Structure 1
Amino acid sequence: MQQGGKGVLALLLVPVLFVGLLFGFILLLGGSNAAAAACGPAGAGVKIDENTVPTAAVAGYGHDQLVNAAYIMNAAEALGLSAQAQQIGVMTAMGESGLRVLTYGDQAGPDSRGLFQQRDSWGSLADRMDPFKSATLFFERLKNVPNWETLEPTLAAHKVQVNADPYYYAKYWDAAGQVTAALSGVTASPSTGCGSGALGMPLDTPFNMTDKFGPRSSPTEGASSYHPADDLQNWPNPCGKPIYAIQPGTVVLSDRLYLSIKSPDGYTISYLHSHQSDRLVKVGDTVQTGEKISLVGDEAPATGCHLDLRINVVGNINPQVATLPLDPAVPGWVDPEKFYELFGMTLCNDTCHRNY
């Protein structure tokens, strides 16, 4: 529990027994999307010598297709983009053209051409038919997608390509990882303990942590003495600040206190204390990482405006998330800071002040 700077105490919560019963009900009803792609490879992009591309097939793609993948990777590297971007580019071209420079389009886009099936509005025919230049066009747009690094790879690609199915490219992610690894030597497999998908921050940074996961003195009437959450607050003037989804999923609950989003992996992330009138999503909506979902509020029980972030793993099917320790005092809930660590991230980093 914390006093932000020197003023408002922000905290909360609801009796644990009520919450446990509530989630038992919600998770029976919550929907689920297709499983998310795994974490992307970390590190800077690698320049590839197109003349040394292997002749043997990789993930079912032959030499000429691998050369095109090398051009895609080099276009990302030339723009200073990461290995993750390289893999996203290769994944997208696999889905659009099978890593071939196509001279024809389809019914939806008869003027589509090249590796990325780019239409006339993307540029000249010569540029769209050139593997390096067409990839450059793709990456220039990818760079302008807000928070593309924290989106699921298929969703980042969808933001650029604007195709019908946002999850269409997900099935090519693993093969793209095999190809980029074979060409660069940088493994695209998630590191040990890496969860599924990427994480965003729930508030604009910097923010303070005003209470942590674990036992505490109840700060106000109706709040629990065991806090199965972390409290976060933009200080000063925390009221009305945007709240963002930290992962994609489906909204399964939006009541007076809770806004809960169920992950494709079965666990549920809840955002507490925003007012229902400030919610930007409703039950049944699908949301993406980094999407603005509500505004920070002080819905009771609370001692001030703040976000209570909590994660319930009842129904989880992700084996990495299943390794997180559970506290018998609050069955089903996990420490959000440990959840972030699973994804190689820090929730309360050097810019975050702990005031509790």
Structure 2
Amino acid sequence: MSDGTRPHGRQLRLGALAAALTATLALLCCTGGAGAFFLTELGGESTDMAPVSMNCKEDYRVDVRGKIPRMSGYGQVQLRNAARIIKVGQEMKVPPRGWVIAVATAMQESRLRNLANRTVGESEDLPNEGVGADHDSVGLFQQRAGWGTVAQRMTPEYASRKFYEKLVKVPGWETMPLTRAAQAVQISAFPDAYAKHEDVAGQIVNALAGGAARIALIDGRKACDRAAGGQIAASGWTAPIPGGVGSGFRTASRPRHNGVDIAAPKGTDIRVAATGRVLISQCDPDRSGRHTCNVDGWPNKGGCGWFVDVLHAGGFITRYCHMVSKPRVKVGQLVEAGTVIGEVGSSGNSSGPHLHFEVHEDGDRSSRGAIDPVPFMRSRGAPLKGAG
């Protein structure tokens, strides 16, 4: 909902950040898995898109009347509403990041359904896709009376245009966390609720708009798959460092290597790949416990050295190992995409300076949750340099 001044509370709060950590952490990093970890969910939706072309097309125009891809959890009517939101953004020349923010906001407010409200008599006779129960809020964005007449607010194109008009007036909206940008428009009673929809919103925008969530703005110009050096793709992701991938994910010679090694000089800034909450920020010593993380590594003895784990929307976790010194972030801290969290080093199980980078899904920090970072980062418009 939103009237710009009076919040009210239909939205669900996000799950709390990690409630408890295991007493011991037995990371093997560049030789294997991770210790168990318990956390309550940060928030997110699990969904599967039907296969679609992911070739990023900077000038692709969404077709609201054309074929709509299938997506578990969202029907054709809902996804067509998302297409209408995107189309308005395109017509207004709002950058693709704005489309992701708008779709995620409508996912939280109405699950992408054009809702009427029985407390507003005028809306009873208007075509709708369900009935809300939240004061006088109606439409995809649950906008209240200050946004226009009931008929206007229940017209997806009008509602989307009003959302974008306010969004683009928010200073720095393109680089701030999605939930802050959405909250600046909506003035919700539960401002953190929008964050959990970011990943799926990016998938929807990719599917409906030719991979547009993979577009980054570089010096004011659009570029596909160029999210690096602190630049953020419309999906909200960026590459952690500019180096090229060396040792890959679970190769024949290293089947327990649950991430990729990215070569870079010692002291290179490591940027968090997406906005999230810090779960771990500490030293992971070798198995014997004899070595500290304040020296260069001890190959084949285990340990991630100085490292950070961050929980992101959709239940994804990223891991950054072998930092040269104590990380710059603390457990529980919210970090924005592109924030420098440490520097490349060679602490832990390392034979030379590099970043060991992992991606885990389903909130699972163990080896069971690890997935190949190369295709994952490419799908977010932030491919790892040198990765095919």
The TM-score normalised by the length of structure 2 is 0.47
Match of 1:306 in 2: 354
User: How far 1:269 sits from its partner (Å)?
Assistant: 2.4
**Alignment of 1:295 onto 2:295:** no
User: How far 1:137 sits from its partner (Å)?
Assistant: 1.2
Match of 1:46 in 2: 62
**Distance in structure 2 (CA, Å) of the matches to 1:315 and 1:338:** 19
**Distance in structure 2 (CA, Å) of the matches to 1:230 and 1:335:** 8
Match of 1:165 in 2: 191
**Alignment of 1:252 onto 2:252:** no
Change (3 A) 1:78 1:90: same
**Distance in structure 2 (CA, Å) of the matches to 1:171 and 1:251:** 20
**Distance in structure 2 (CA, Å) of the matches to 1:215 and 1:59:** 37
After superposition, what is the alpha-carbon deviation per residue over 1:116-159, rounded to whole angstroms, capped at 9, x for unaligned?
6889xxx9999x987475234135247943457xx7x6665346
Change (3 A) 1:17 1:156: closer
User: How far 1:243 sits from its partner (Å)?
Assistant: 1.7
**Distance in structure 2 (CA, Å) of the matches to 1:172 and 1:28:** 24
Change (3 A) 1:340 1:171: closer
User: How far 1:75 sits from its partner (Å)?
Assistant: 3.6
**Distance in structure 1 (CA, Å) of the matches to 2:281 and 2:326:** 14
Change (3 A) 1:29 1:155: same
Match of 1:270 in 2: 319
| Preserved CA contact (<8 Å) 1:251 1:286 | no
Q: Residue 283 of structure 1 aligns to which amino acid in structure 2?
A: V
1:232 to 239, 252, 262: 262
| Preserved CA contact (<8 Å) 1:45 1:80 | no
Change (3 A) 1:269 1:168: closer
User: How far 1:208 sits from its partner (Å)?
Assistant: 2.0
SS in 2 for 1:29: coil
Matches within 5 A, 1:150-229: 157-158=182-183, 160-161=185-186, 163=188, 164-168=190-194, 198=235, 200-203=237-240, 207-209=242-244, 211-213=246-248, 227-229=257-259
SS in 2 for 1:294: strand
**Distance in structure 2 (CA, Å) of the matches to 1:242 and 1:146:** 21
Change (3 A) 1:306 1:296: farther
Matches within 5 A, 1:31-110: 31-36=40-45, 44-46=60-62, 73-81=86-94, 85-86=98-99, 88-89=101-102, 92=105
Unpaired stretches in structure 2, ≥5 consecutive residues? 1-25, 66-73, 121-136, 214-233, 284-292, 294-305
After superposition, what is the alpha-carbon deviation per residue over 1:210-255, rounded to whole angstroms, capped at 9, x for unaligned?
5222689x9xxxxx997543233556xx515242234635513532
* Identity across the alignment (%): 18
Match of 1:243 in 2: 271
Q: Residue 320 of structure 2 aligns to which amino acid in structure 1?
A: Y
User: How far 1:309 sits from its partner (Å)?
Assistant: 0.7
User: How far 1:47 sits from its partner (Å)?
Assistant: 7.2
Unpaired stretches in structure 1, ≥5 consecutive residues? 1-13, 50-57, 105-111, 191-196, 219-223, 318-329
User: How far 1:340 sits from its partner (Å)?
Assistant: 3.1
| Preserved CA contact (<8 Å) 2:270 2:343 | yes
Match of 1:5 in 2: none
CA root-mean-square deviation: 6.1
After superposition, what is the alpha-carbon deviation per residue over 1:261-281, rounded to whole angstroms, capped at 9, x for unaligned?
24566664210122454422x
**Distance in structure 1 (CA, Å) of the matches to 2:98 and 2:313:** 23
User: How far 1:295 sits from its partner (Å)?
Assistant: 2.3
| Preserved CA contact (<8 Å) 1:20 1:331 | no
Match of 2:332 in 1: 284
SS in 1 for 2:344: coil
SS in 2 for 1:337: helix
